[in-house]
Structure 1
Amino acid sequence: MTDANRFAADPLTHDEPDFSITHETDPSGVLVAGFSSFGLAGLTAVDYLVDRLDLHETGHITVDSLPSITPFENGHPRHHTRFFSRDDLDITVLTGELYVPQLAADALTTAITDWTAENGVQEIAVPAGIPLAHGPDDHRTFYIATPDYHEKRLTDRDIPPMGSGFLDGVNAGILEHAIDTDLAAATYVTPVHAEVPDVEASLRLLDALDAVYDLDLDTEPLQQFAKQVRDYYAELNARVEDIDDSQRPDDRMYM
């Protein structure tokens, strides 16, 4: 089955970011999405899931009217934002290597949530790093989740809630959408350091995802995995750092 859906931020405004989703199979009931931001901890985590769970590419997202990138490996180009899954696992993983500025966050959120609604996706989990001033005791993963997600996934898990603050960007858009719909959603956040990728932060996010979804992950190889992709992620992070400050999410939203 081929499902090619086009979602526009504003169909009458041609210079608005316009995201297009193509998916070749029926998606799973659970979507785990990692995006290019803050030390790339969330993106590293989902990239590792794809590698360790032996997932296969099943779709991608493209965008018009937004500066884009085309990653390549061993001389072969690929889409910057891709879906992965396998037949015997009820999880689809979304890896987003393109940095999405604030002006395009709503359009991407709408594309993803419209697609999940049309394809029966029941929940979304987003692992992410946050540039939060912190001490050693804060080297933990916290959650911000809708009540239905909490009841289904977190009641017996040793993962604390984030105290208070504000979300923005795609993470905020997904949770805001989920508040008033049947979509269950959570963002898992952990403090990150300046190094790219922050392997310890990625490990914390992976431990949380493993505990919630019973993935039976072996995270020992992550250090070697991170070493292999460090140069690539460093270049990707440099692109994020070059983004104008007005297009960045605020770094002050967590307490």
Structure 2
Amino acid sequence: MVVGVSIPALAGLAAADYLVEHIDVDPIGHVSAHGVPSLAPFSEGRPRPHTRLYGAPGSDLTVLVGELFVPVGPSEAYADGILAWAEEAGIEEVTLLAGVPYPHAPEEHAVYYVATDEYRERRLSDTDVQALGGGFLDGAHGELLSRTAEGSAPPTGALVTPSHPPGPDLEAALLFVGALEGIYGLTVDAGELERLSADVRRHYEEMAKRLEAMTEGSATMEGRDLPEDRA
């Protein structure tokens, strides 16, 4: 089961949502949990569950798209809901998509993993995805990884890439889609996501240029010898 939930920068959610729009999947269920804040997303006037599950016909691939932002406090209840559904559905492993805003160099824009040995041997041994050096994950990701470390959840791996809030960080989402293609043998047309990512990048570059021009203009005004107000 591939899990993309709503956290700052939205990279994992964007990747999971793109996946269900561009591969052959059908809606197969949803997750709800007591004590978790409510959210009612809608499209074309129709409400839909905030955490939806999709299955690929003829495959054991399941994708969870979670549009609800879950604070750290209710993460335990949210993880309970996900794992209850996973147990009922016979899910054998969980892949988390975690775009995390942490300091990084430009060459570190890549996908790394935090995973149990069983998950790593099953899914990552034939890939070039490298282990993330150290740190911690909180929220739903941290809760699910804690459960698998304790042996109370299926083998779980988090795919982690540095991301840039507020998002959506579509460049990070592209990295996730590429990693999932290699891990699960998928074929995904990423052309639309690449175009959207380029549009977002241009938008922020133009904003940065305008801000720089405004700052330079302000500095020029401050340096002028203006006449005194003699009124």
Check whether TM > 0.5.
yes
Of 105, 129, 143, the match for 2:113: 143
Partners of 1:113 and 1:177 within 8 A in 2: no
Aligned to 2:102: 132
Of 74, 78, 102, the match for 2:44: 74
In the aligned structure 1, how far is the partner of 2:152 from the partner of 2:78?
18
5+ residue gaps, structure 1? 1-30, 231-255
In the aligned structure 2, how far is the partner of 1:108 from the partner of 1:189?
20
Aligned to 1:236: none
Aligned to 2:91: 121
Amino acid aligned to 1:39: A
1:59 and 2:57 are equivalent in the alignment: no
In the aligned structure 2, how far is the partner of 1:194 from the partner of 1:96?
18
Change (3 A) 1:170 1:67: closer
Amino acid aligned to 2:76: D
Tell me how far 1:72 sits from its aligned partner: 1.2
Deviations 1:131-154 (A, max 9, x none): 111111110010001000011111
Q: Scaled by the length of structure 2, what TM-score is found?
A: 0.80
Aligned to 1:21: none
Aligned to 1:173: 143
Amino acid aligned to 2:192: P
In the aligned structure 2, how far is the partner of 1:83 from the partner of 1:225?
24
Aligned to 2:81: 111
RMSD: 2.0
In the aligned structure 2, how far is the partner of 1:181 from the partner of 1:71?
31
Amino acid aligned to 1:155: S
Amino acid aligned to 2:52: R
1:201 and 2:169 are equivalent in the alignment: no
Tell me how far 1:32 sits from its aligned partner: 0.5
Q: Work out the number of aligned pairs and report it.
A: 199
In the aligned structure 1, how far is the partner of 2:50 from the partner of 2:196?
19
Change (3 A) 1:78 1:170: same
Aligned to 1:36: 6
Q: Higher helix share goes to which structure?
A: 2
Partners of 1:143 and 1:162 within 8 A in 2: yes
Of 39, 45, 55, the match for 2:15: 45
5+ residue gaps, structure 2? 201-231
Partner SS state of residue 221, structure 1? helix
Aligned to 1:89: 59
Partners of 1:57 and 1:82 within 8 A in 2: yes
In the aligned structure 2, how far is the partner of 1:183 from the partner of 1:90?
15
Comparing 154-163 with 81-90, greater Cα deviation is found at 81-90
Tell me how far 1:104 sits from its aligned partner: 0.6
Aligned to 1:189: 160
Tell me how far 1:195 sits from its aligned partner: 4.8
Tell me how far 1:165 sits from its aligned partner: 1.2
In the aligned structure 1, how far is the partner of 2:153 from the partner of 2:16?
24
Q: Higher strand share goes to which structure?
A: 1
Tell me how far 1:62 sits from its aligned partner: 2.8
